[in-house]
Amino acid sequence: MKVLHVISGGETGGSKKHLLQLLTNSPVEAELLLLTEGAFAEDARKAGIPVTVVQQNSRLDRSAPRKILMVLKKGGFSIVHSHGARANFLIDSVYKKLGMPWFITVHSDPTLDFLHQPKPLAKVFTILNQRAMRRADHLFAVSEKFKDMLVKMGVEPKRITPVFNGINFHETLPDFDRRAIRESLSTQDDEFVFAIVARLHPVKGHDILLKAFAQIDRPCKLWVIGDGDLRQSLSEQATALGIAERVQFLGARKDVDQLLYAADVSLLTSHSESFPLVLLESADMATPVIATNVGGVPALVDPGKTGWIVEPGRADALQHVMEKAMDADTRERGSMLRSFAKENFSNENLQREIRKVYEAVLRLN
């Protein structure tokens, strides 16, 4: 069994982390094909993952599908596995010529993937992506909710396997210098800190978070970790709400684990998610979470014990649980979250489950 994973290569968030961990020390022979050079390709090579780059200069570059077919044939692959709409489009355009099973991992809600595009383009891209999902031999849905969504789109239930993301947990909780991390960000040791790690994109709900945070009339800070097109507008919103001094936009960081360790609570305010890796990364740092009720979040977060769950888009509800968290024993909740996540959501579990499905589908072909 030899698998070629295909993804655009410009990703910086969860799908990138998912693939880098999945393919590192993989129990099956696997390689990565990207459509652009960049940080993703560099990080994969550093991890010892074989990488091929088929440079696609634009979405209209029709040479890319043919080049991908050549890689598949010459490389002796028995499975192709795509991630993300762009990769799905390309494999769909040659699927009749593949001669091997095609898998897709659905990392996000396909009805919301193109919120940043003009409406006519968004509609076309959404239709094409959903068509690809109906054609693939098998799909991995990164939550039960996503499986239900795919069934409603017309995908046969027997061709969908829910799989929760996993990460490589530290054996023991790291002993970072919490005080030094906070001092580097002009934050006192006794200040309550909320942290959100997410690209600055409409689907992540930062605007709702800022509205909720502005209503909290108690000493606390918000660390916004990540970059994106909404950086300027969110900064302007924070100023308009009078909270600019309490909100720190930290941009993309390479020390996310340390920042989560130093925060009191980790936030996820998305309107849609699959099974967010950032929640597992928060668990690894024993930091409890406040998360919206999206995707596989309820499988990880036990309200009142390991964190809190709120409905998306509700600034009032979010404010309420953020204030509850400030009065809670966050260390105890974080410790419980870490123990549960480490036992149930490891990268090794994910690798075994995916291999099992590969083998079952190959036996049928």
Residue 254 belongs to a domain with what CATH number? 3.40.50.2000
Amino acid sitting at position 303: P
pTM of the model: 0.77
Residues 85 and 231 in one domain: no
Closest CA to 269 of 228, 230, 213: 213
In a domain, 256, yes or no: yes
Do 50 and 137 belong together in one domain? Answer: yes
Instruction: Tell me, yes or no, whether 149 and 233 share the same domain.
Output: no
Q: H or E segment at 220? A: strand 220-225
**Do 207 and 320 reside in the same domain of the chain?**
yes
pLDDT of residue 62: 76
Based on the fold, state whether residues 230 and 156 are members of the same structural domain: no
147 and 95, same structural domain? Answer: yes
Q: Is residue 226 part of a domain?
A: yes
Q: Find the angle CA(301)-CA(256)-CA(285) to the nearest 5 degrees.
A: 45
Angle between helix axes 119-135 and 85-93 (nearest 10 degrees) is 60
* Residue 16 shares a structural domain with residue 159: yes
Instruction: Specify whether 158 is located in the same domain as 276.
Output: no
Distances in Å between the Cα of 165 and the Cα atoms of 107, 288, 299, 325 are 10, 18, 11, 26
| 8 Å CB contact between 271 and 297 | no
Q: What is the pLDDT of residue 208?
A: 98
Q: Does residue 173 lie in a domain region? A: no
328 within some domain: yes
Are 231 and 109 part of one and the same domain? no
Range of the domain at 81: 2-167+346-364
Same domain (yes/no): 215, 81: no
User: How does pLDDT run along the chain (365 residues), one tens digit per residue?
Assistant: 999 999 988 877 778 888 999 998 889 999 999 999 999 999 999 999 999 999 877 666 678 889 999 999 999 999 999 998 889 989 999 989 999 999 999 887 776 666 666 777 778 888 888 899 999 999 999 888 889 989 999 999 999 999 888 888 999 999 999 999 999 999 998 899 999 999 999 989 999 999 999 999 999 999 999 999 999 999 999 999 999 999 999 999 999 999 999 999 999 999 988 788 899 999 999 999 999 999 889 999 999 899 999 999 999 999 999 999 999 999 999 999 999 999 999 999 899 999 999 999 999 87
Q: Indicate whether 90 and 134 sit together in one domain.
A: yes
- Say if residue 125 is in the same domain as residue 225: no
Q: Does 105 map to a domain?
A: yes
pLDDT at 61: 65
The tally of domains found in the chain comes to 2
